[in-house]
Amino acid sequence: MKNIVSSILFIICLTGIQNLSGANITDTLRFEGLLSKAMVKEANINDSFIGSLDITRSKHILLSTNSKMYLLGWGGLLPFGTSSDQKIDAFSINKEGFVIVVRDKGLCFMDSVGHYSRIVALPNSDMGITAGDSLLYIYDKNLPAKNSLYVVAKGGKYMKLFSSPSPFNAVIEANHDLIFATGCAVFSLNPISGELKGLASVGNGNNILSLAYDPQSKIIFFSTKNAIYYIKKSTVYQLSNQYGGTLKFFLDGLIVFNPETQTMLRLVGISNQL
């Protein structure tokens, strides 16, 4: 663990793990508008959305405020489950299709009637969560020091993998590696060998907000508040400098969700154009 923390400290200090390459190709992309402020207003949603996003088995997009979840589909935004009496901090959908939710210092799942059932107490509040192929990952998002990444096995038992001096902003699985963002940098960790690699750094104090992965093209996408980048064959490119936000790769498109502006779009067939 000490070696991993030291490596993260060293790599974060570098001013660019990879040089950004390529031109902005926004003008050649095909967009689909999925969510607008007007749709949110029509659904009578007055609370702000959190930064989590996932896809259900019925191919609806799942969103949430701090107290209520919503499904986004052809019919617009519809309530999903019961209202939460505790603050919803993050959620993810696991391989079995269960919605796993971080509420305050508890890890919960939504049962068949839409109620939240507690699985296990968490070490800290306001943690992030990501569902992998067979495991869950939870991570500290805002501690002043020693933020930790944990793996959660079936049954709710969790184990600390390692800690970082900076908060974890996003975590995903990609091609058997664990990809995570902390500060303005993206790293990969091989869970078997323990090898840690720096993949990208955007610098200039631009924190990375989200990660996404296309398993077909093996392209990793990451975003800041106002820009989207991608990593292809170890080279970092800028996809757009016009928008950013929460990312999710689904079918052949990249979904981009901005909770602040209450907008969502999908870049169709994106990997074939990169």
Q: What is the pLDDT of residues 68-102, one digit of tens each?
A: 999 999 889 999 999 999 999 999 999 999 999 99
Closest-CA residue to 199 (of 210, 189, 188, 209): 188
Closest-CA residue to 179 (of 144, 221, 140, 141): 221
Question: 59: helix, coil or strand?
Answer: coil
> Which residues are CB-neighbours of 176 under 8 A, at least 6 positions away?
190, 191
Domain ranges of the chain: 2-273
Burial class (CB in 10 A: 0-12, 13-18, 19+), 49: buried
Q: Which residue in the block uniquely carries the two structure tokens 């090898």?
A: 195
Measured distance CA(163)–CA(140) in Å, rounded? 9
Q: Are the CB atoms for 56 and 75 separated by under 8 Å?
A: no
Residue 28 pLDDT: 62
Question: 11: helix, coil or strand?
Answer: helix
User: Using alpha carbons only, what angle is made at residue 238 by residues 233 and 242, rounded to the nearest 5 degrees?
Assistant: 155
Measured distance CA(214)–CA(63) in Å, rounded? 21
Residue 116 pLDDT: 97
Question: 239 is written with which tokens?
Answer: 């996809």
Residue 27 pLDDT: 53
Residue 273 pLDDT: 82
Residue 12 pLDDT: 43
Q: Which residues of 85-122 are buried (b: 16+ CB within 10 A; e: fewer)?
A: ebebbbbbbbeeebbbbbbbebbbbbeeeeebeebeeb
Measured distance CA(179)–CA(64) in Å, rounded? 24
Q: Architecture of 2-273 per CATH?
A: 7 Propeller (2.130)
User: Using alpha carbons only, what angle is made at residue 150 by residues 264 and 121, rounded to the nearest 5 degrees?
Assistant: 90
pTM score, two decimals? 0.90
Measured distance CA(227)–CA(25) in Å, rounded? 12
Question: 244 is written with which tokens?
Answer: 């950013």
Residue 9 pLDDT: 45
User: Using alpha carbons only, what angle is made at residue 55 by residues 120 and 30, rounded to the nearest 5 degrees?
Assistant: 150
The amino acid sitting at 259 is P
Which of the residues in the chain have pLDDT under 70? Answer: 1-28
Burial class (CB in 10 A: 0-12, 13-18, 19+), 39: middle
Residue 20 pLDDT: 55
Residue 239 pLDDT: 92
Q: Are the CB atoms for 110 and 54 separated by under 8 Å?
A: no
> Which residues are CB-neighbours of 201 under 8 A, at least 6 positions away?
11, 12, 14, 15, 16, 17, 18, 184, 185, 186
